[in-house]
Each structure stands twice: as structure tokens, then as C-alpha cells.
Amino acid sequence: MRTAWTWASVAVLGTLGMFAPLYLPAFYLRLLTESLIYAMFAMSIDLLAGYAGLVTLGHAGIFGISAYLVGYLTARLGLPMHVTFPCGVLGAVGASLLFGIMAVRTSGVYFLLITMAQGMIVWGLAFRWTSVTGSENGIRGILRPDALATQQAYYYVILGAFVLVAFLLVRLVRSPFGLSLLGLRENEARLRALGYSVWLHRLLAFLVSGCFAGIAGAFYAFHNNFVSPDAVHFVLSGQGLLMVILGGAGTLVGPVVGAGVFIFLRNVVSLYTDRWPMVLGALFVLTVLLAPQGLVGLARQLLRRWPAGAEPAPVGSTLPYGVVSPQPLDGRNNPAPHQPTNHPGKRRR
Amino acid sequence: MPLTFYLVQAFNGITFGALLFLLASGFTLIFGLMRVVSLTHGAFYLLGGYIGLTALRPLGNFGLAVVAGALAIGLVGVLIERFLLRRVWGQPLAEALLTFGLAFILADAVLMIWGGDPRNVPIPRFLRGSVVAFGLFFPKFRLFTLLLGVGVALFLWWLLACTRVGRIIRAGVDDLEMVAALGINIRAVFTGVFCLGSMLAGLAGVVGGAFLSLYPGADAEILLLGLVVVILGGLGSLEGAVVGSLVVGLLDTFGKAFFPELSYFTIFGPMALVLALRPRGLFGRV
């Protein structure tokens, strides 16, 4: 039943996606392309935040390193995309290795603070290292090869990459490795006792996540033909995390839904007001307060209430984005880490 | 480079460290007791600075403007603690994300009210100019900031070590449930500590508005340095905040002098080193 529904929706969405350039005006096609790029970025954050329980606020740093590398190599050195793209992704993985080694020995808020500081340092570099990054002016003229110059062609590349990334991530989170990440999130001490190397698992998760963030960053550079310090700013890290939480952390559908809703909202809101950061902040606050399981979590709750007792919740699906810190910071302040997920009426206050 | 260059830069670094300490001490105090990572601290700093700037004209006195900035931010802090943070009580990450969202709202409100141009809080007349010693010029305002930082450090030490409130706070850091079981209203203590930490950020903002300048984005820059201070020193430790502030102040000042383009990067290396050796910071509890 469940799988049938899943496959049906995948088929419908796939068809809609395949033929999007036929019925969508150029502006909306551009938005859709952007949503897919952000969806990849958000999924990479979700792998860390939702599955491994390591909430990061510095992922834009990694995303942006890739975007800047691609930008510099393409626009300044004139190298072709098939060279610059892998270079950007490799740069992101290299940065993830460095940042990961620094951060993965901690978890919870320590991890959040360290990654946030790392991301901000990358931003400082992008902002101040004028001779390479062009500071606020950024790097312009990151042109795609002629074959991908049109919005339609680029859309199909992004769509293909998105499907590939989503497929790889689905396989990854269902693999023994992905399950051990979930285990780490839920009970670090137990996995440690079972002989898992906590450090290595987290570092690998960080690397994989950084790789996908790098892919998104490289596509972003070619999408905008331009990178500026905004691409590494912690605001972007926050936005990525918001997409994850808004959609539903710990599910891969969540970040995709979150990215779509987010891009849509941003465009609607900016029609009416310049106060987008305020709306963004309010969205953050409201999501954390009212819908910690995100839209996907809410939808699941509704579905479960409707046909009474239809199906049990899959493991970990409605856990609020590792808010339940895998290792309660010091064994206190954690009144009820595991809310029973099959009582939709019971809400966290 | 002549020796005087190093002396002047060291002085600048230490005084900048004192400013950072004003911000980081509140941050670390809040974390130490409440385990709340207050990412609004950068926005508090900026908002406090602008409030001080606006209050300066009617009040006509720098000292009163500092008090006004601190009190206003203290009030904002109390409201946030009572009406928002309590709703996600006990979930450290939700608390951090809540304050992160609030930082966006406050920073945008600041931009809406005061606009985007850089502004300076005017330095009061008696603090303008420099003290000359050993043939070097030491700006009076920087000396004042240093004294203020030392004063706040001593006050916090006295508060934590010598008063009943301090004993409650230290006991709360060690064993919250036991303190509550002894009949102490720990919630009230929380509100008080969050208020005090926020006030320190507001105070830092007014002083920082005269020391540096106020502009949209200054909140993120000072927050980054504040974060590195507590990452280096150890979250929740007052000694850590003192040492971390001095280290970051010096690194940032010398970094800007030697490698202007890569200045942020100079704090990265030491941060990586400390994290490799002591993931919870120099004075952090493991």
C-alpha cells in the first residue's frame, strides 16, 4: 500500500518534472531549477542534521567553497565546465575533511557552534580576499558551455543530477551505514559499546554531505552565472537548515518539500515586502515552536489520524531533527526525549 | 618592524579583547546555567548599540546611554526567555534554532528602523584623545573599554563566587534538579541570568558603537568572534571567556595588521588546534 502510493507519486512527479519546460514559463522554470539546486543542498544538510543528528549551521561554507572554486576557474581562468565542476566538488570535499575533523568529536550545540564559526570564517575569506573573490562584487561571468546555455537544457541537467543525488541518498540512508548513523543519533553510547567508531562514522557522514553540498554549490554557480559572499553567508546555512526543518528532518522528502515551499514563499513575499529576513526569522521561530516535525511530519500525523491506525510510523521519521540530542548534553534538561510517535493528539509544549 | 608597532598592536588587541569579553561573558554565562546557546547575542549587540545611540541625544550622557542600551536589551531578553525559550525548554538545539531565527528578526528590525548607513556612537569628550606614556599614544576610550572589561569580569567573579545568587547559579550548573528540589525558584534565576547576559550584550553594543561602528552585518561579525571566544575558552566558563577574549582580540588585531585580506583566517588555525586537543575548549568541562 505504502510503496504503491510512493511509486505512484514518484511517477506523477517525474512526469510533471520531465515535461515542465513544455508548460512552465521561463521565469517559473528558473524557479524550479533553483528549487532543485536548493533541494540538493537541503538534502545534504539533512543527512547530517536529520539522520546523523549533527545540526550544522555552516554548510553554506562548503557549498560556497565549491561555488567560488567553480567561479574562479571558469570565469577567471576560462577552464571548461567538465574540469571546473569536479574541481569545485573536490574542493568542497577537501573543506569538509578539514572542517569535519575539527567538528565531529563534538555533537549537539557544540557541533552547531563550531560549524557556524567555520562557515563564518569562509564568509570572511570570501568577503576580504578581494584579489581572488572580488569581495562584494563577487565573480561574474560564470558561463555554461553552449550546449547548456538555454534554461531548458540546464533544467534537464539539474533534474537529472537531482534524481541521481536523491537516489544515492535514499540508498545511503537505507544502507547499514545509514542505519548506523540513525543509531548514533538515537543512542551514541550504545553504538560505541557495540564497537562502532563514532568519530569515523560522523566524519564519513560529514564528507558525503559535503560532497553533495559541493555538487549543489557548483550547480548554483552555473545557474546564476555569478557568485558573491551571499553564497557562503551563514544566512544561507540557516536557510538550508530551515528548508530541512520546515519540510521534515530525518526524511529525504522533507528537504525537497521544504526547498520548494521556501523558494515559492520567498518569491511571493518579496512581491509584497522588502522585509524578507524578518519573514525568514519568523518562519524559523514558528517552525521550531509549532511544527518541529515539519510539513512531512504533520502530513503523516494527519494521514495516520484519518484511517484509524492505518500504519505504524517508520522508525525515526517524526523525530524532530535531532532536537533530541543524541547524547543529552549532560544527562539533564531532557524531560522526554522520545515522544511516543503514535499519539497524534499529544503535542510537545 | 619596530618594537613600538608590536606594543601598539598588542594594546589594541587587548582592548579589543575587552570589548569581546563584554559580549562573550554574557553568552557563556547564559550557556553555563541554562545550556541555551543564545545566537541572538550578535543582534542584541547591534540593537543595544543603536538604542544607546538614539538615547544619547535626549539623555545627553554617554554613561546613561550605555545604561539605557543595557536595560533595553535586558528587557528584550526577559521577554524572549519568558515567552519563547520556555516553550522549547530542555531541547538545546531547538533553543539554538529559535534564537537563530530571532536574530534575523531583530537584525532586520534594526535595518528597518535605523537604516543601512554606518553610524558611530560619539565618544564622550573626557574620553577623547590619548594618554601618552613611554612615547606611545594610548587612546583614552580604549583604556576605558579595558577598564570596563576588567570591571565586568571582577563583578561577574564576585557575583558567582561571593553571593547567594552566585551560589545558586553555580549549584544550578552542577545539578539543576537538586537546586529545584531545594525549593529554589530556578525559573526565576534563569530569567535573571538570561536578562543579565542580554544586558551585557546591550552594554557591549553601546561601547562597541563608539569603539568600532554600527552597521547591518556588524552583528554577524561580532557574533563570529564571540563564538570563537567561547569555542576556544570553553562554553560556560568565565575564565575561558577571559582567556578566549584576549586570544581572539590579539589574533584578530595582529591578523588585520599582517594579512588584511585573510584576517579572519588567523583565528581559524588556533581554533582548529584547540578543538583537536580539547574539543570542549580550554576551560570547558568534558
CB contact under 8 A, B271 and A102: yes
pLDDT greater than 90 at residue A193: yes
| Residues B77, B67 contacting (CB under 8 angstroms) | no
Chain B interface includes A284 (CB < 8 A) = yes
Q: Which A residues, 40 through 79, put their C-beta within 8 Å of a C-beta on chain B?
A: 55, 57
Chain B interface includes A245 (CB < 8 A) = yes
Q: What are phi and psi of B137, to 5 degrees?
A: -100, 125
Give the pLDDT score at A307.
Answer: 60
* Higher per-residue pLDDT: A347 or A117: A117
pLDDT in tens, B171-221: 888 888 899 899 999 889 999 999 999 999 999 999 999 999 999 989 999
CB contact under 8 A, A277 and B263: no
CB contact under 8 A, A324 and B91: yes
pLDDT greater than 50 at residue B286: yes
pLDDT greater than 70 at residue A313: no
Across the A:B interface, residue pairs with CB atoms under 8 Å apart total 150
Nearest alpha-carbon partner for B215 in B74, B118, B137: B118
Residue of chain A minimizing CA distance to B85: A289
For A139, the enclosing helix (H) or strand (E) is strand A139-140
Nearest alpha-carbon partner for A81 in A157, A195, A182, A190: A157
Write down how long chain A is: 349
What confidence category does residue A160 fall into, taking pLDDT thresholds of 50, 70 and 90?
very high
Give the pLDDT score at B118.
Answer: 93
Min Cα distance A328 → chain B (Å) is 9
Q: Which A residues, 145 through 174, put their C-beta within 8 Å of a C-beta on chain B?
A: none
Chain B interface includes A216 (CB < 8 A) = no
Question: What does the alpha-carbon distance between residue A33 and residue A259 come to, in Å, rounded to a whole number?
Answer: 11
Q: What are the chain B neighbours of A244 within 8 Å (beta carbons)?
A: none
Residue of chain B minimizing CA distance to A238: B100
Residue ranges making up the domain that contains B14:
3-277
Three-class DSSP labels, chain B: CCHHHHHHHHHHHHHHHHHHHHHHHHHHHHHHHHCCCCCCHHHHHHHHHHHHHHHHHHHCCHHHHHHHHHHHHHHHHHHHHHHCHHHHCCCHHHHHHHHHHHHHHHHHHHHHHHCCCCECCCCCHHHCCEEEECCEEEEHHHHHHHHHHHHHHHHHHHHHHHCHHHHHHHHHHHCHHHHHHCCCCHHHHHHHHHHHHHHHHHHHHHHHHHHCCECCCHHHHHHHHHHHHHHHHCCCCHHHHHHHHHHHHHHHHHHHHHCHHHHHHHHHHHHHHHHHHCCCCCCCCC
Give the pLDDT score at A198.
Answer: 92
Of A124, A281, A325, nearest to B108 by CB-CB distance is A281
Q: Which B residues, 243 through 262, put their C-beta within 8 Å of a C-beta on chain A?
A: 260-262
Chain B interface includes A302 (CB < 8 A) = no
Give the pLDDT score at A144.
Answer: 93
pLDDT in tens, B110-168: 999 999 899 999 999 888 888 888 888 889 999 999 999 999 999 999 999 999 999 99
What is the domain-level CATH number for residue B176?
A: 1.10.3470
Give the pLDDT score at B132.
Answer: 87
CB contact under 8 A, B231 and A117: yes
CB contact under 8 A, A277 and B88: no
Q: What are the chain B neighbours of A329 within 8 Å (beta carbons)?
A: 35, 92
pLDDT in tens, B60-94: 899 999 999 999 999 999 999 999 998 888 888 88
Q: What are the chain B neighbours of A117 within 8 Å (beta carbons)?
A: 224, 227-228, 231, 271
Question: What does the alpha-carbon distance between residue B145 and residue B18 come to, in Å, rounded to a whole number?
Answer: 6
What confidence category does residue B269 fall into, taking pLDDT thresholds of 50, 70 and 90?
confident
B58 in a domain, yes or no? yes
Min Cα distance A156 → chain B (Å) is 35
Give the pLDDT score at A340.
Answer: 40
Counted domains in chain B: 1
Chain B interface includes A238 (CB < 8 A) = yes
B285 in a domain, yes or no? no
Query: From residue B72, how far is each of B55, B83, B106, B194 by CA, in Å?
Result: 11, 17, 13, 13
Of B176, B271, B276, nearest to A332 by CB-CB distance is B176
pLDDT in tens, A36-60: 999 999 999 999 999 999 999 999 9
Q: Which B residues, 69 through 98, put their C-beta within 8 Å of a C-beta on chain A?
A: 84, 87-94, 96-98
| Residues B159, B241 contacting (CB under 8 angstroms) | no
Query: From residue A161, how far is each of A37, A215, B166 by CA, in Å?
Result: 9, 9, 57
Mark B257-277 as b/e (b = at least 16 C-beta within 10 Å).
beeebebbbbbbebbbebbee
What confidence category does residue A2 fall into, taking pLDDT thresholds of 50, 70 and 90?
low
B263 in a domain, yes or no? yes
ipTM of the complex: 0.90
Measured between alpha carbons, how far apart are the two ends of chain A, in Å? 33
Q: What are the chain A neighbours of B262 within 8 Å (beta carbons)?
A: 125, 128-129
Measured between alpha carbons, how far apart are the two ends of chain B, in Å? 41
Lowest mean pLDDT among A331-335, B162-166, B266-270: A331-335
CB contact under 8 A, A120 and B90: no
pLDDT greater than 70 at residue A5: yes
Chain B interface, mutation test: which of A65, A102, A329, most B Cβ atoms within 10 Å? A102
Residue of chain A minimizing CA distance to B234: A110
pLDDT in tens, A27-36: 899 999 999 9
